[in-house]
């Protein structure tokens, strides 16, 4: 059995088209154009690629994009001052500070400075807290994108055993909350988990986001499982791979996301959906 590929690129294009249609409808109704401000600090090559892709997605969907590219020497106070200015700017609906930040800047302090209703990444403790109590305002982009993929392929997590490998604030923890809200039975695995292979083997739905190439072995996958690989890693030869041993896993899984072309495009599409939602909150 070869797994069905979950085409995140295709689904993301559908979602971006829906955003574009909504932006056009807003314009016809005389409402303001949604505006996203993106801040990039330093010259991290991967971050620069992500920011460029976000700008292109904004152009395609009709969302206005403001770009702030700051040198790595930018101080924390200087960055916080810019965030405060964008918080006060009525034109700006969403603010995104591209991670990672230089080591001398405390990313948590910066993220908490963004107003929750402009926090289109969904990283502010207020937004994470609302997700916990089933009252989401801004949902973290990657976990929400994963849920969109599952829904698009007719996967209902209700009653299923879901295993999340990785417990980061950006992916693992909010992903576990999203699955819990969908009434899955959720296990979160992390660096102190024992018998990881046994935990993975129980998963009807497996989500992996650890940033280690081929970390989850294909032979661990439960036959017929849905495998969502959030990782994207560049190898020495320049090729990309995920956190799951894809070639083996696809012969056991029922569905699986490729890398690239799986979760990555959904993260950007969800960011623009969140920006549109932020604009609606500001109306």
Per the structure, the count of domains in the chain is 2
278 assigned to some structural domain: no
Which one of 119, 121, 204, 229 is the catalytic residue?
121
Whether residues 106 and 166 share a domain: the answer is: no
Cα–Cα distance list, 59 to 141, 144, 207, 259 (Å): 19, 22, 31, 24
Percent residues over pLDDT 90 in the chain: 95
Euclidean distance between CA atoms 65 and 124, whole angstroms: 21
pLDDT band (50, 70, 90) for residue 244: very high
- Residue 195, phi-psi category: left (phi > 0), alpha (psi -120 to 50), beta (remainder): left
Same domain flag for 156 and 251: yes
Bond before 260 cis per omega within 30 degrees: yes
Is residue 222 pLDDT above 80, yes or no?
yes
Task: Say if 245 falls within a structural domain.
Answer: yes
Residue after which a domain boundary falls, among 79, 101, 117 = 117
Claim to verify: residue 97 and residue 174 sit in the same structural domain: no
Q: How many CB atoms lie within 10 A of CB 190?
A: 14
Quote the longest CA-to-CA distance of the chain: 57
Domain that holds residue 192: 141-263
In a domain, 128, yes or no: no
46 — pLDDT class (breaks 50, 70, 90): confident
271: left (phi over 0), alpha (psi -120 to 50) or beta: alpha
Over residues 229-257, the mean pLDDT reads: 96
Mark whether 82 and 165 lie in a shared domain.
no
250 assigned to some structural domain: yes
- The answer on 100 and 193 residing in a single domain is no
- CATH number, position 172: 3.40.50.720
Asked if residue 18 belongs to a domain, the reply is: no
- Catalytic-residue membership of 55: no
**169 and 241 within one domain:** yes
Same domain, 213 and 110: no
Note whether 194 and 256 are same-domain residues. yes
- Judging by beta carbons within 10 Å of its beta carbon (0-12, 13-18, 19+), is residue 267 exposed, middle or buried? buried
**Single pTM value for the model:** 0.96
**For 129-174, what is each residue's pLDDT tens digit?**
999 999 999 999 999 999 999 999 999 999 999 999 999 999 999 9
What's the CATH number where 112 sits? Answer: 3.40.50.10860
Q: Is residue 155 part of a domain?
A: yes
Residue 227 in this model has a pLDDT that exceeds 70: yes
Residue tagged active-site, from 98, 175, 222, 250 = 98
End of a domain among 60, 85, 117?
117
Q: Are 182 and 248 found together in one domain?
A: yes
Establish whether 203 is an annotated binding residue.
no
- 167: annotated binding-site residue? yes
Instruction: Note whether 151 and 82 are same-domain residues.
Output: no
Contact indicator for 74, 132 with CB cutoff of 8 Å: no
The pLDDT-based confidence of 1 (bands split at 50, 70, 90) is: low
Mean pLDDT of the chain: 96
Determine whether 98 is an active site residue.
Answer: yes
Residue 170 assigned to a binding site: no
* 110, 159: one domain: no
Strands 94-97 and 35-41 come out as: parallel
Rounded to whole angstroms, how far apart are CA atoms 139 and 100?
20
In a shared domain, residues 174 and 255: yes
- Residue 88, in any domain of the structure: yes
Tell me, yes or no, whether 167 lies in a domain. yes
């Amino acid at each position: 059995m070869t797994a069905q590929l979950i085409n995140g690129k295709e689904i993301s294009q559908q979602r971006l088209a829906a955003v574009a249609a909504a932006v056009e409808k807003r314009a016809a109704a005389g409402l303001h154009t949604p505006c996203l401000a993106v801040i990039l600090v330093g010259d991290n090559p991967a971050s620069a690629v992500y920011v460029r892709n976000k700008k292109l997605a904004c152009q395609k969907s009709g969302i206005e994009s403001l770009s702030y590219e700051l040198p790595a020497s930018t101080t924390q106070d200087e960055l916080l001052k810019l965030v405060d200015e964008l918080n006060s700017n009525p034109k700006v609906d969403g603010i995104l500070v591209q991670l990672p930040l230089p080591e001398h800047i405390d990313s948590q302090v910066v993220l908490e400075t963004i107003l929750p209703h402009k926090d289109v990444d969904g990283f502010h403790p207020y937004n994470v807290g609302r997700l916990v109590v089933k009252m989401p305002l801004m949902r973290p982009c990657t976990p929400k994108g994963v849920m969109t993929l599952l829904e698009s392929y007719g996967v209902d997590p209700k009653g299923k055993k879901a295993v999340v490998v990785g417990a980061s604030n950006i992916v693992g923890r909010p992903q576990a909350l999203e699955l819990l809200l969908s009434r899955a039975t959720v296990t979160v695995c992390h660096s102190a988990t024992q018998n990881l292979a046994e935990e993975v083997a129980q998963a009807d739905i497996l989500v992996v986001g650890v940033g280690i190439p081929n970390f989850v072995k294909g032979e661990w996958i439960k036959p017929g499982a849905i495998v969502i690989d959030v990782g994207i890693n560049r190898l020495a030869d320049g090729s990309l791979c995920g956190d799951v041993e894809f070639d083996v896993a696809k012969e056991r899984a029922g569905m699986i996301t490729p890398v690239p072309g799986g979760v990555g495009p959904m993260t950007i599409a969800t960011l623009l959906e969140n920006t549109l939602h932020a604009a609606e909150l500001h109306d």
